[in-house]
A and B are shown apart, each in its own frame.
Chain A
Amino acid sequence: MSKTVIDIGRRRDPSLSAFGQSKSWMRFKRRITPYLFISPFFIGFALFWIYPISYALWLSFYEQAGLLSDKVFIGLENYAHLWLDGRFLRALFNTSYYASASVFIIVPLALFVALILDLDFVRYKHFFRLFFFTPMLTASVVTAIMFTLIFEKKYGLLNNVVLVPLGLPQLNWLLDPKLVMPAIILVGIWKWTGINALYFAAGLQNVSREAREAAKVDGANSLQIFWYITIPLLRPILLFVIVLAIIGSYQLFGEPYLLLGGGGPEDAGLFMTVYLYITGFRHMEFGYASAIGYIMVVIILTLSLLQFKLFGGFEKK
């Protein structure tokens, strides 16, 4: 403080500020400072995000096969063709299948785990919580590698440890078109239940104990407390988790792609992102792949905005 006072005292030229710099220069500096802070991000963001995302839209109206070939304007034909493309529809179906499995299996299971870990008498809660989400720390490639030996037909862990002792036949998880999706869903359950349980656990901490205890005193049983108090209070977290699970299904790539070596038998395990990768980078159909990308944008953006709306958005601190 004292330094400033002395500086002002010394000042002679009225057009100069306390530090001997001209006022207009100071004003300019003050005005430009925020832009200097944000510019490194926004320059890169413009180059590596805004430009590509706009270019993708433009490209989706063209036909281009291969890096060297010419672009041919075809209007909306890529988008029209998508709905006649059996593989795309298959991918859309599989992805939705997986998404509904996430919503109806992983999410309730995670909620159940979180509720159990919320019980008073359960000990080592912290350990369980941390332990259950370790699977999600593994890379998708590592997950796929681990599960190749688990789904193996003759020597795999799942068949020999779970199915055979129960007197069930050994199943060909990764080669039987009917079993491919359940196999991928099993991987999903293993990998994502823990993190969703963690979200619910965080949410449960906000569900006031008083409300639940008051209901108990009033004679409500645990099922009623769960249904009429816990669930309504968990609604925002529930929505968040469900939307995230659906978005996650559309982003799924490494596990199905590597476990099945692409789309799997008869494309039974073809996922959206896998199909985008195959059209874009194996067949080099850049225009068509961009159109697939934009369909994903539309689906995910709709879901996110829905969540944004129901949720009150990111602004909550």
Chain B
Amino acid sequence: MRRELINWYKTKYKTKEFISKFLIYLFLGIGVVVTAAPFIWEISCSFKLNSEIFSFPLTLFPKNPTFSNYIRLIQGEEIPFLREFMNSCFVSVSYTILTLLISSLVGYGFAKFEFPGKRPLFIVVLVSIMIPQQALLVPLFLLMNTFKWTNTYYAVIIPGAFSAFGAFFMRQVMFSVPNDLIDAARIDGASELSIFLQIALPLARGGFWVLGVVLFLNSWNLYLWPVIVLRTEEMFTLPVGLATLLGLYKVEYGMLMAGAFLATLPIIIFFISRRRQFVAGLASGAFKF
């Protein structure tokens, strides 16, 4: 009797455990499907013509798969896609390099020197991180107008390159450079600039990459500022160009999906090859929301 009771208890416990495990995996499975569905649907529809997208039954695998969306997109039928893709590459890469350079200089200055005015200057940087970019849109646009920078790459690249977050982030990174090494180099007669270039930067490589990944992603995805300062199609970055496709009189959904997929591709490749930096960057809370 007692053994039976124990056995009953054991099986009951086991089924309970089994059910909870099953539910948890079910939940995760649903999570994966829901997360993946928009991507899969986007890719699937990018191989369909409008007529198939708007017909029943909905198909996961296109009945008549076609590359015509991609071909027409790249040929520049509705928007100068290739040009805009290259614009985005140019803008993102130069923005990332410029910002990394400026941020590591100021970060090094803050981390490794004592000087009058350091604290107030740093507090200004910190406060500016908390202030939303939206408040800057109008005055910066007016400033770009005075500089005659509207519809140029300068307007998209330069104002954002003085990133308070970048300064703050590189300061944290530069703290990890050992002071002893810097002092030793100083005693050996190295100039301050060569200490920075040959000792601090190589040692701060890890953080440098993390910030680089964050900056590149933010810049690649940015929509609000470029749509304000860029005017003509051939100057548009990819997000702005794709958004114009959405506003056309007759929306070519297949092309739109193809464009959206191609715009995400560099990020996905970047993400797979630089996974660790992405995760570190994400954890620092640096991505724009």
Contacts and interface: CB of A to CB of B under 8 A. Distances in A.
B94 interface: no
Contacts of B114: 34
Interface stretch (A80-88, A135-143, A168-176, A225-233): A135-143
Interface string A173-210: 00000000000000000101011001100100000000
Interface in B248-279: 253, 256-257, 259-260, 263-264, 267-268, 271, 275, 278-279
B162 A202 contact: no
Interface in A92-125: 113, 116, 119, 121-122
A48 B35 contact: no
Given A3-B189, A48-B143, A293-B135, A42 B121 contact: yes
A117 to B, nearest CB: 8
Given A45-B164, A145-B242, A34 B132 contact: no
Given A34-B113, A157-B37, A202-B283, A296 B132 contact: yes
A220 interface: no
Contact of B162 (A41, A137, A248, A253): A41
A280 B102 CA distance: 30
Interface string A248-285: 10111110001001000000000011001100110000
Interface residues of B, number: 99
Nearest to A125: B28
A139 B220 CA distance: 8
Kindly state the interface size class of chain A when it binds its partner: 35 or more
A154 B54 CA distance: 8
B159 interface: yes
B134 interface: yes
B7 interface: no
B264 A137 contact: yes
B265 to A, nearest CB: 11
Contacts of B128: 45, 49, 53
A314 B242 contact: no
Contacts of A36: 192
A211 interface: no
A35 to B, nearest CB: 7
B223 A4 contact: no
B102 A142 contact: no
A305 B119 CA distance: 18
B221 A139 contact: yes
A257 B258 CA distance: 21
A163 to B, nearest CB: 13
Contacts of A252: 289
B131 A155 contact: no
B134 A49 contact: no
Nearest to B45: A149
A19 B189 contact: yes
Given A141-B240, A142-B263, 19 more contacts: A1-B187, A4-B188, A4-B189, A34-B118, A37-B192, A38-B106, A53-B131, A55-B139, A56-B138, A116-B28, A128-B31, A128-B32, A136-B282, A145-B242, A145-B260, A155-B55, A251-B289, A273-B224, A293-B135
24 contacts: A3-B189, A4-B187, A33-B113, A34-B109, A35-B109, A37-B192, A44-B102, A122-B24, A128-B32, A130-B275, A142-B239, A142-B242, A146-B38, A146-B260, A148-B256, A195-B287, A198-B283, A199-B285, A258-B243, A273-B134, A276-B137, A286-B142, A296-B132, A296-B134
Interface of B: 21, 24-25, 27-28, 31-32, 34-39, 41-42, 45, 53-56, 58, 102-103, 105-106, 108-110, 113-115, 118, 121, 124-128, 130-143, 145, 158-159, 161-162, 164, 167-168, 172, 175, 187-189, 192, 196, 217, 220-224, 228, 239-240, 242-243, 246-247, 253, 256-257, 259-260, 263-264, 267-268, 271, 275, 278-279, 282-283, 285, 287-289
